[in-house]
Amino acid sequence: MNFKLNAQITRRALAMVALCVSSTAFGQANHVNPWINENPIIPPTAGIGKGLWLKGDLHVHSRHSKESSNNPIAKIVNFCKTTGMDYVCITDHDNHVNGDVAHNTWADPEFKSESVLLLYGAEWTTTRGHGNVFSAVPYDHQRLFDVRDQRDVAVGTVKKQLGIHLSANHPSGKDHFGYSYDMLGSLEVWNSVLWSKNAEAVMIWDDMLSSGRKLTGRGGSDAHHGVPDKPELATPNSKQAQANYVGTPTTWVFATARTKQAVVDALTNGRVSVSANPYAPRVEFYADLDQDGKTDVMMGDNVKSTGKPVKFRVQLSGNTVADSAYTIKVVKNGGPFGTFKATGKSPVYEFTDTPEITGRTYYRVVVEGPGTDYPQVPQAKALNGNMVGLSNPIYFNFDPNF
């Protein structure tokens, strides 16, 4: 028996004694939850200025998804080059090919690019939910497809063996994610250009975060339809390409290098920001833990609370609209912390709060304001409304060994 367990038993014994003595009607005041890890080991965080921002789309369907139209892989890759996307994951439905993504999407001669980082993945399309896989290298997707109807314990074993990043797609409504969220590295909190339909996904995200799951929020356009090359190729869905296509929304990752693995790692670490489109401002969220004027951590990072005040900074980078007012909504532990305004060429808002010394705390940010034109997807701006972007949380006292 180790010291920690001894200490825990002693604490519980003391709590029980205290209960007997006080004999309050509800008696829970001194309860010690044996599952709480009171001394989490927090890994060191990487230097703030030592990465690079890469932008892309994590949910796109090519012609290998049967219900798509006018969307060959070459069209998607060329569009990414035109719009300056650094990476993309083509996530075709796996049920259309009985799990054999490797001999369909990945074997397509068009599945190559010198400049755009093409992740390996697919949309795991099952009766109890849709999820995307993101991988820097090819993996045996067939095994994940084959295990889809088994119990989660079997699914989780296969997922672990494959070493993949699994992410829930559009988690509410029909095709909600009906598996354990404990298998996930991330959650699609912004699906397609219609931000307004994501409210339940964001609610699920906050519930998962509030229960101690450090789960990255990401975007995905879920685009299926490209612009037809000739008018006679148009389908009833072709008009979607004018409103929802690659980059609506755009997911930014703060990566250690310009590699596929670094994109997946940044996604797993939560160093992620989601913007309405590739030209819209990027929300960045930092904290100065000891108030020495230097930034110590950024979104996705998890640190131990000292019980002292922390200075947080929200900033918008990129194409901000000068002299426009941006609305910054700060969410703390799933509830509203405050709504603030920021203006100027490079809008910044700073606030101070003291995360509890015991227990978990997280802060995340949503920014609204003027829309940004997306010339290649001309109707996107109108559909996005005033949603600009969102950050991932900064975490305090989350258990890294969870």
Chain residues in the site for Zn ion (CB under 5 A): 123, 130, 169, 222
**Closer residue to Zn ion (CB): 104 or 169:** 169
CB of 108 to Zn ion, least distance (A): 18
**Closer residue to Zn ion (CB): 93 or 311:** 93
Helix (H, G, I), strand (E, B) or coil at 361: strand
CA gap 57, 35 in Å, rounded: 38
**Closer residue to Zn ion (CB): 123 or 368:** 123
Residue 163: other Cβ atoms inside 10 A: 10
**Closer residue to Zn ion (CB): 122 or 280:** 122
**Closer residue to Zn ion (CB): 9 or 199:** 199
CB of 345 to Zn ion, least distance (A): 37
- Cross-strand partners of 390: 274, 366
CB of 174 to Zn ion, least distance (A): 10
CA gap 264, 104 in Å, rounded: 22
CB of 223 to Zn ion, least distance (A): 9
Helix (H, G, I), strand (E, B) or coil at 314: strand
Query: Within its chain, how far is the Cα of 131 from the centroid?
Result: 13
Backbone Cα Rg of the chain: 23
Residue in the shown chain whose Cβ atom is closest to Zn ion: 130
CB of 64 to Zn ion, least distance (A): 12
**Closer residue to Zn ion (CB): 130 or 159:** 130
**Closer residue to Zn ion (CB): 130 or 282:** 130
For tokens 């906050």, the residue is: 206
Token reading at 323: 């002299």
CB of 129 to Zn ion, least distance (A): 9
Q: Give yes or no for a contact between 374 and 247, defined as CB atoms under 8 angstroms apart.
A: yes
- Cross-strand partners of 298: 286
CB of 58 to Zn ion, least distance (A): 10
Token reading at 278: 């590739």
Per DSSP, the residues of 117-159 read EEEEEEEEEETTEEEEEEESS---HHHHHHTTTS-HHHHHHHH
**Closer residue to Zn ion (CB): 57 or 288:** 57
CB of 131 to Zn ion, least distance (A): 9
Going through 28-108 in order, the beta strands assigned E by DSSP cover 52-60, 87-90
CA gap 165, 295 in Å, rounded: 29
Q: Give yes or no for a contact between 391 and 371, defined as CB atoms under 8 angstroms apart.
A: no
